[in-house]
A and B are shown apart, each in its own frame.
Chain A
Amino acid sequence: MATEMEAEICDALYADVGKPETEAHVHEISLVKSSCLFALKNLKKWMKPKKVHARLMTFPSTARITKEPLGVVLVISAWNYPLLLSLDPVIGAIAAGNAVVLKPSEVAPATSSLLAELLPRYVDSTCIKVVEGGVSETTALLELKWDKIFYTGNSKVGRMVMASATKHLTPVVLELGGKCPVVVDSNINLHVTAKRIAAGKWGCNNGQACIAPDFIITTESFAPKLLEALKKVLEKFYGKDPLLSEDLSRVVTPNHFNRLLDLMDDEMVSDKIVFGGQRDEQKLKIAPTIFLDVPLDSAMMKEEIFGPLLPIITVEKIHESFGLINSMTKPLAAYLFTRDSKLQKQFESTISAGGMILNDTSVHLTNPHLPFGGVGESGTGSYHGRFTFDAFSHGKAVLHRGFGGEAKARYPPYSSAKLKILKGVLAGKLGAHIQAILGFPRGK
């Protein structure tokens, strides 16, 4: 489907979010294909029961963990990567042997109806269904009993999903957002850093991505250099008038457009613009816009931006950035640019996040060997590669015992002699085991 219907998919993605063809290929179609291929390649391995060391205590016995499907699962997708965030979880759910209902986001209607139309043609529609709709349809779906619910979106709705899941005690995976910080040290390759930040921010659906860099923290002294580098890179990427560039996604809906305008034009920050600021209400486009030192209590620094606005916060010494990040809720991803290995180590051990990248942005999500998910406000549960398979499976513990090795000491009537043997067995003492198996204590 991803191969044959490429053109249609690109069209739908363009219609929904104005996604440039390259992003559609790289971020959605190719990732869906590699996810499928990875699952196909590894399925047998993932499905194989894992033998577990059974130890002396239950001798003779063998122990295994067998993966089984959870049953019927619900995947609720998001609008910014409407193909990928629909199909990636579905691929894993199928790999794990479940029946799936997919509810694509209504905010990306072209992709939603494309999926509803195409999916039944390519997969078994008795087990894999697409249900389209908005708030009322989603609410109705959430009333039903599912064996797992997988939700990608914002934390407000995430809370509602979790609350609905309570009724049937349904376990959930929540892939939410957060403010992904980028700490930029001075000991870096400036040009490459600027490119990678720009690619992760404006090259990812024009900032409308859960792992897009949300804001930068750098030192007062380094900020001007970083800003110059970013400006240069942005001009190279998008030309002198970014609103005319075909390579920038538009803002998804008028609602979000107005939300971003409110953030930009907020009098607390409007005088802090140092680059960009252009907007086109007709086309729902906002140019890459950079701010310098907005107040930490401004709306822009309290909410997830999810758009092309990039505040740069300065600190005196780079280490101060850690305290700032830790004062906020745990993000989905945290980024650090530095060659200083000590700073890297500190970052790794001090900052808690779903994922972190050193000297790049966003790319960790393409590595199927790394779990992708949030922690705290940024979500619960993770997926990608084997982790998706595990998210939609139950690891059933299976213990095989024989009729040999019968230990009388286990059973009442209890006595201190029996207790002594039990203690020895639990402490792993071989002598006690032998006694137990031989039927000690004798007599009763």
Chain B
Amino acid sequence: MGSMPEKPRHGFGSLVTGLQEVCESGITKDLAWRRSQLKGIIRLLTEKEEEMFDVLRDDLGKHRAESYRDEIGALVKSVNHTLRNLERWAAPEKVQAPLVSFPATALVVPEPLGVVLVFSCWNLPLGLALEPLSGAIAAGNAVVVKPSEFAPATAAFLASNLPKYLDPRAVKVILGGPEVGEQLMEHRWDKVLFTGSARTGRIILTKAAKHLTPVALELGSKCPCIIDRLDSKRDTQIAVNRIFGGKWSLCAGQACLAIDYILVEEEFAPALIEVLKSTVKRFTTTPDCMARILNEKHFKRLSNYLKDRKVAASVVHGGSVNPKTLTIEPTILLNPPLDSDIMTEEIFGPILPIITVKKIEDSMKFVRSKPKPLAIYAFTRNEKLKSRIINETSSGSVTFNDAVVQYVVEGLPFGGVGQSGSGQYHGKYSFELFSNKKAVFKRSFLIEFMFRYPPWDNGKIGMLRHVFNTNYVLLLLGLIGLRR
């Protein structure tokens, strides 16, 4: 139950204590310092844009447009939003104080947690490192970023550039694989944000429990896309455009927010598939319009899904894989077996199963039969169906008639629930995730009520009842009668 902090062990002991000292010195708490760091991130994103495009292409084969839209541009927007609102978020918030405590002031004062650790993921290696970093800095913390070793060019880029654009005393990058991650977790952190798989998330949590380190987990899930019968051709085309954007255009489907599978009514499925096929053809005229698969391990995993005989039989478009270039063409399946791996695991790739249901309302039951996803997408004009989806399913978020764009709406929290994670961030939520909201209650010596103190008697209990029932009239009468 000790109250004195434990002595740090293992290789990163001096890293952690050094950062704690930096925090204690008050540097990171200073608003001007925070602003300068956030501006440093903007400068990095502007000045090193070309280099960032290069490393993202090296690591994932992403086209610059995708890199800009999903990572660099989204970051610029987000950090500017933070800069505009920093003072407001950091300001103490006055709250109501009960009349009986008059004169008193009650405040909620946000303060930094201290030293935080951010684990980034390989699929949006820049975004998933810098977005949490900006939030942690905005909240006044010192930060260690551990980029994913699976995106080595980006990791190296961060390691060499963050010290140039940000204050290297308070912002550090640590490179390495899982052993490094585990070693880092041997220490106590004031907060950890982990983006990645549930398996690794559990390892992080287990280590965190030893030190009571609070952890926010951004995990994966099978994000369903419910497509209602759309009567107009234009609506269908737009829906399919957006589905493409939410699947193949997003790191070839390797994203936690990507559409994993589709649910559609039996009768509408053929029409949908036709439009999907033609749109895929139109959008993928050049090979660089879709990212490649991260590495051989994931390529094998995805190819194996298609090797399952019954799954292979359900392919209605695509299916070809190229182990040399680590690319898989956009592949559409119609009703693969529900117990196949591809329908029980998060796909994280460019394969899109379509599951048909008799009535679109049945899709909600299907979604509920699986763990709560990070996002649910639904294309429909039916307001009743929309209400039902919101009320009868649970997910990190719900987006109607589009996919993934909720990521850039700064006012909306981003995060999962249940198996898809816990803790939310983006915009103000990032600031809060990395803050301690300290309750502050200021009283004066002026007014003192004797009934607070022992020795107790029934008279005092009576007065206390009035206080708790906020019956100020009776309280006042009692005071006049009882005043000593």
Q: List, in ascending order, chain B residues with CB within 8 A of A370's CB.
A: 95, 106, 108, 439, 441
| Interface residue? B412 (CB, 8 A) | yes
Roughly how many angstroms separate A71 CA and B372 CA in the complex, as a whole number? Answer: 11
Q: List, in ascending order, chain A residues with CB within 8 A of B108's CB.
A: 370-371
Roughly how many angstroms separate A359 CA and B448 CA in the complex, as a whole number? Answer: 12
A303 touches B456 (CB 8 A): no
Q: Of the 9-residue stretches B146-154, B166-174, B341-349, B460-468, which lies at the interface with chain A?
A: B460-468
| Interface residue? B437 (CB, 8 A) | yes
B460 touches A422 (CB 8 A): no
Q: List, in ascending order, chain B residues with CB within 8 A of A63's CB.
A: 406, 409, 411-412
Roughly how many angstroms separate A158 CA and B2 CA in the complex, as a whole number? Answer: 13
| Interface residue? A329 (CB, 8 A) | yes
Known: A192-B445, A247-B456. A21 touches B205 (CB 8 A): no
| Interface residue? A225 (CB, 8 A) | no
| Interface residue? A358 (CB, 8 A) | yes
A403-434 CB contacts (< 8 Å) to partner B = 403, 406, 410-415, 418-419, 422-423, 426-428
Roughly how many angstroms separate A358 CA and B423 CA in the complex, as a whole number? Answer: 31
Q: List, in ascending order, chain A residues with CB within 8 A of B448's CB.
A: 192, 195
B121-140 CB contacts (< 8 Å) to partner A = none
B212 touches A163 (CB 8 A): no
Q: List, in ascending order, chain A residues with CB within 8 A of B465's CB.
A: 25, 30
Known: A162-B208, A192-B448, A357-B441. A394 touches B417 (CB 8 A): yes
| Interface residue? A364 (CB, 8 A) | yes
| Interface residue? A293 (CB, 8 A) | no
B435, chain A: closest CB distance, angstroms: 10
Roughly how many angstroms separate A110 CA and B288 CA in the complex, as a whole number? Answer: 71
A397 touches B66 (CB 8 A): no
B442 touches A302 (CB 8 A): no
Q: List, in ascending order, chain B residues with CB within 8 A of A379's CB.
A: 212
A376 touches B190 (CB 8 A): yes
| Interface residue? B337 (CB, 8 A) | no
| Interface residue? A57 (CB, 8 A) | yes
Q: List, in ascending order, chain B residues with CB within 8 A of A294's CB.
A: none
| Interface residue? A223 (CB, 8 A) | no
B245 touches A411 (CB 8 A): yes
Roughly how many angstroms separate A231 CA and B113 CA in the complex, as a whole number? Answer: 38
Instruction: Annotate B397-429 by CB proximity to A: 1 below 8 A, 0 otherwise.
Output: 111111001101111111001110111100000
A355 touches B440 (CB 8 A): yes
Q: List, in ascending order, chain B residues with CB within 8 A of A411's CB.
A: 241, 244-245, 249, 283
| Interface residue? B109 (CB, 8 A) | yes
A22 touches B460 (CB 8 A): yes
A166 touches B412 (CB 8 A): no
Q: Of the 9-residue stretches A100-108, A111-119, A171-179, A271-279, which lies at the interface with chain B?
A: A171-179
Q: List, in ascending order, chain B residues with CB within 8 A of A358's CB.
A: 440-443
Instruction: Annotate B184-222 by CB proximity to A: 1 below 8 A, 0 otherwise.
Output: 000000100000001001100110111010100101000
Q: List, in ascending order, chain B residues with CB within 8 A of A238's CB.
A: 454-455
B3 touches A401 (CB 8 A): no
Closest residue of chain A to B283, judged by CB?
A412
B456 touches A21 (CB 8 A): yes
A57, chain B: closest CB distance, angstroms: 6
| Interface residue? B253 (CB, 8 A) | no
Roughly how many angstroms separate A203 CA and B24 CA in the complex, as a whole number? Answer: 35
A396 touches B445 (CB 8 A): no
Roughly how many angstroms separate A203 CA and B202 CA in the complex, as a whole number? Answer: 43
Roughly how many angstroms separate A354 CA and B109 CA in the complex, as a whole number? Answer: 10
| Interface residue? A380 (CB, 8 A) | yes
B203, chain A: closest CB distance, angstroms: 9
A354 touches B443 (CB 8 A): no
For A25, A176, A412, A428, the residue with the greatest tally of chain B CB atoms inside 10 Å of its CB is A412
B74 touches A367 (CB 8 A): no
Q: List, in ascending order, chain A residues with CB within 8 A of B234's CB.
A: 403
B220-264 CB contacts (< 8 Å) to partner A = 234-235, 238-239, 241, 244-245, 249
Q: List, in ascending order, chain B residues with CB within 8 A of A344's CB.
A: 442
Candidates B73, B238, B410; contact of A55 at CB < 8 Å: B410
Instruction: Annotate B21-44 by CB proximity to A: 1 below 8 A, 0 otherwise.
Output: 000100001000000000000000
Closest residue of chain B to A406, judged by CB?
B238
Known: A26-B464, A395-B413. A426 touches B3 (CB 8 A): no
A412 touches B289 (CB 8 A): yes
B401 touches A402 (CB 8 A): yes
A366 touches B412 (CB 8 A): no
A186, chain B: closest CB distance, angstroms: 14
Q: List, in ascending order, chain B residues with CB within 8 A of A263's CB.
A: none
Q: List, in ascending order, chain B residues with CB within 8 A of A162's CB.
A: 205, 208-209, 212
| Interface residue? A348 (CB, 8 A) | yes
| Interface residue? B82 (CB, 8 A) | no
B63 touches A399 (CB 8 A): no
Candidates B2, B63, B444, B452; contact of A412 at CB < 8 Å: B63
| Interface residue? B350 (CB, 8 A) | no
Q: List, in ascending order, chain A residues with CB within 8 A of B442's CB.
A: 344, 357-359
Roughly how many angstroms separate A358 CA and B105 CA in the complex, as a whole number? Answer: 10
Chain B: residues with CB nearer than 8 A to chain A? 1-5, 24, 29, 63-66, 68-69, 73-74, 76-77, 95-98, 101, 106, 108-109, 111, 113-114, 190, 198, 201-202, 205-206, 208-210, 212, 214, 217, 219, 234-235, 238-239, 241, 244-245, 249, 283-286, 288-290, 381, 386, 390, 394-402, 405-406, 408-414, 417-419, 421-424, 436-445, 448, 452-456, 460-461, 464-465, 468
What are 10 A-B contacts defined by CB distance under 8 Å? Answer: A22-B454, A57-B77, A159-B210, A303-B2, A339-B445, A370-B108, A399-B405, A401-B400, A413-B283, A426-B73
